[in-house]
A = this chain, B = another copy of it.
Amino acid sequence: MAWKQLAAEKKSHQLDGVPKEWLPSNLPSSETLNVIDFPQQSGVLSALDLEITESSVATLLSNLASSKWSAVQVTTSFYKRAIVAQQLTNCLTEIFVDRALARAKELDEHLAKTGKVVGALHGLPISLKDQISIKGIESTMGYISWIGQVAEKNSVLVDILESLGAVPFVKTNVPQTLMWPETFNRIFGRTTNPNNRSLSSGGSSGGEGALVALKGSPLGVGSDIGGSIRIPAGLCGVYGFRPSYNRIPYGGCVNSMEGQDSILSVLGPLSSTLDGIQTFFKAVISKEPWQMDPMTIRKRWSDEEYNLIDHGNGKRLCFAILWDNGLVEPHPPIRRGLEMTRDALVAAGHQVIDWKPYKQKEILGTIEAIWGSASTEDFRTVLASSGEPLITSMKLAHEEGDTPFLVTSDTTLSAFALWQLHKKKRDLREEHLKHWTDTISQTATGRPVDAIISPVAPHTALQHGWHKNGNYTMPWNLLDYPSVVIPVSKVDQALDVKQPRDKFYTAEDRKIHELYDPATYENAPISIQVVGRTMEEEAILAMSAIVDEALKLHGTKSKL
């Protein structure tokens, strides 16, 4: 069939521009599951390459600005490591080595000539989820229909990143339609989890998750409509940030279900250090993206809010932990991650109480009804031009028959029915804000709870094809709460033993319980979300740093 040939042809040229010496000759066999440290042994990266790629974003920017490291050097180091990561986990889509190095060279020349950096991200390589358009490069998003669809101009974010001196250098893999928490499509194939390749990298920004976890990129940009930044970040063990609607400009990107404006997809960063997340956000906002994208909120970075003016200046905070959403009970390692976070925060002098979940089932049902109102027609329209079928399972054998994630309806709704769902959504948001505000009676701070600590999913990364649940991320999307994912630990067979259960909320809860056994998930990252109120980006970044510090300090202490 023509669509299969088209896909195979495109994939066959993926590595065309890659220097042969960047391709490791000693790749581990597919039976080697944990490849997270392979880049050091690959023979591709020099000592300097390793030093560079294992530096924090702050160190990279500082050494780039001082010309200790050139942009060409830094871009080359990360590119090598990204190509190794590609060989290990299949995390990339578009690769454009010459172009990125040419850009890096320009930046070096600018710095040499003027003595000044181009901007706050001077020389920093940045990876981009496939849907973020770069002029002259394809944005297929895993749709065979879109092969050959070359972007005529940069997306607004790429223009901004370039004006900041960043070097976009690879694009990363996604699932067909984007509406899955795993990553597989028929052009680029499947992205695996570098901590354990029998497990999913998460999705839809799964390419970013795997690449950043392997330190093949210091900073990646994903998108999140129901967990698509947070799930791969959490499952791969890196930091990820879902900002509120319309703070990072989305203009000029391609997308699934375009025009679905009820529960918006947002762009946000993934990084192996928290400072990368914050640097990205502050730098992008500093460029006043609302001057280029009319949908972006005109709101400058607020030092006041970052200094926690709305949260008692951060002196003593009250966090509330969502242990269980009442629909699917988290697996033992997830519970351990929450307990570690609680202990760390209490040890740091903060108050920690329980978060009572509010109408989770209604919230999830409303999201599914809204997306389902026209998703089927959207996918059908895109697929029609190539004849490629809709992917209905993420399993290894790609057998058909699963329910496509979040495509719940065979018939589209009327606009009037959609309006009624918007009323439901608004009511839920109003009620949930009141639910939050009312926690003032349970805190010792004189304020409502400052932030919620939540699982990212009821489980760590699962075996391919089994992750069908966005229940711990999606509600924050409907509520438009910003959320930072923080890695906490990894599955340990000794600590995370299976706990017997007699009672289950639902058949799905039972099924997910049965999936757990410690051996299968060995080494899978355990992560949490720190969740704030709508448009509290600055505050949630500051509070995440407090949580992260507490975890690091507590982890160090408990190891001593």
Which among A316-324, A340-348, A427-435 touches the partner chain? A427-435
Closest to A262 in B: B261
B430 touches A260 (CB 8 A): no
Docked Cα-Cα span, A295 to B480, in Å, equals 9
Q: Is the CB of A437 within 8 A of B294?
A: no
* Chain A contact patch, size range: 35 or more
* Residues on B with beta carbons closer than 8 Å to the beta carbon of A437: 291
A423 at the interface (CB under 8 A from B): yes
- Indicate if the CB atoms of B294 and A429 lie closer than 8 Å: yes
Alpha-carbon distance A261/B262, docked complex (angstroms): 8
From B259, B262, B297, contact of A420 by CB (8 A): B259
Bound Cα distance from A369 to B374, whole angstroms: 18
CB distance from A286 to the nearest CB of B (A): 14
Give Cα A262–Cα B419 distance, bound, in whole angstroms: 10
A536 within 8 A of B: yes
Taking a contact as CB atoms under 8 Å apart, the answer to whether B412 and A480 are in contact is no
B259 touches A429 (CB 8 A): no
Cross-chain contact B419 with A257 (CB below 8 angstroms) = yes
- Which residues of chain B are near A413, meaning CB under 8 Å? 414-415
| Distance, CA A261 to CA B263, complexed state (A) | 11
Interface string of A500-543 (1 = CB under 8 A from B): 00000000000000000000000000000000011110000000
Q: Does A251 contact B (CB under 8 A)?
A: yes
CB–CB B420/A294 < 8 A: no
A4 within 8 A of B: no
In angstroms, Cα B251 to Cα A536, docked, is 20
The minimal Cβ–Cβ distance linking A373 to chain B, given in whole angstroms, is: 4
How many Å lie between the Cα of A420 and that of B415 in the bound state?
12
- A251 lies within 8 A of B416 (CB): no
Contact B430 A373 (CB under 8 A): no
Alpha-carbon separation in the docked complex, A153 to B262 (Å): 27
Q: Does A426 contact B (CB under 8 A)?
A: yes
Given contacts A294-B432, A426-B295, A432-B294, contact A258 B419 (CB under 8 A): yes
CB A536 to nearest CB in B, in angstroms, measures 7
* Residue from the list B298, B418, B423 in contact with A418, Cβ < 8 A: B418
A267 to chain B, nearest CB (A): 15
A300 partner residues in chain B, CB cutoff 8 A: 302
Q: List CB contacts (< 8 Å) of A246-294 with chain B.
A: 251, 257-262, 290-294
A302–B305 Cα gap in the complex (Å)?
14
Judging by beta carbons under 8 Å apart, are B378 and A416 in contact? yes
Contacts of A377 in B (CB 8 A): 414, 416
B residues near A48, Cβ cutoff 8 Å: none
Judge if A299 is at the interface, Cβ distance under 8 Å: yes
| Bound Cα distance A479, B297 (Å) | 13
Among the listed B260, B414, B422, B536, which residue makes an inter-chain contact with A412, where contact means beta carbons less than 8 Å apart?
Answer: B414
How far apart are A336's CB and chain B's nearest CB, in angstroms? 33
Interface contact A418-B290, CB-CB below 8 Å: no
**Distance from A477 Cβ to chain B, minimum over Cβ atoms (Å):** 13
A259 adjacent to B421 (CB under 8 Å)? yes
- How many angstroms between the C-alpha atoms of A528 and B350 in the bound complex? 55
Distance of A297 Cα from B258 Cα, bound (Å) = 23
Which of B292, B373, B430, B433 is within 8 Å of A415, CB to CB?
Answer: B373
Give the distance to chain B from A149, nearest Cβ to Cβ, in Å.
Answer: 16
Q: Is A102 an interface residue (CB 8 A)?
A: no
Q: Is A417 an interface residue (CB 8 A)?
A: yes
**Distance in Å from the Cβ of A285 to the closest Cβ of chain B?**
13
> Which residue from chain B places its CB closest to the CB of A432 in the assembled complex?
B294
Please judge, given known A-B contacts A412-B414, A416-B374, A430-B251, whether A261 and B422 are in contact too, CB under 8 Å: yes
Residues of B within 8 A of A297 (CB): 297, 299, 535
Roughly how many angstroms separate A302 CA and B430 CA in the complex, as a whole number? 26
A294 touches B430 (CB 8 A): yes
Inside 8 A of A422's CB, which chain B residues have their CB? 258-261
- Which one of B292, B294, B415, B419 lies within 8 Å of A414 (CB-CB)? B415
A255, closest chain B residue (CB): B423
Assess A259 versus B294: contact at CB under 8 Å? Given A414-B374, A415-B417: no
Closest to A375 in B: B416
Residue of B nearest to A537 (CB): B298
CA distance A373 to B417 in the complex (A): 11
| Min C-beta distance of A254 to chain B, whole Å | 12
Q: When A261-B262, A415-B412 are in contact, do A433 and B378 touch as well, CB less than 8 Å?
A: no
**Contact status of A412 and B416, CB under 8 A, knowing A294-B430, A294-B433, A297-B299:** yes
Q: For A534, what are the chain B residues with a Cβ–Cβ distance below 8 Å?
A: 290, 294, 298
CB pair B261–A535 under 8 Å, yes or no, is no
Instruction: Scan residues 349-377 of chain A and give those whose CB is less than 8 A from a CB of chain B.
Output: 373-374, 377
Supply 20 A–B pairs (Cβ within 8 Å), ascending by A: A251-B430, A258-B422, A259-B421, A259-B423, A260-B419, A261-B419, A290-B533, A291-B437, A293-B430, A294-B429, A294-B430, A294-B479, A294-B534, A295-B426, A297-B535, A299-B535, A300-B302, A414-B414, A415-B415, A418-B418
A299-B535, A415-B417 are known; give 9 further A-B pairs, CB within 8 A. A251-B430, A259-B426, A261-B262, A294-B433, A294-B479, A297-B535, A298-B299, A378-B419, A414-B414
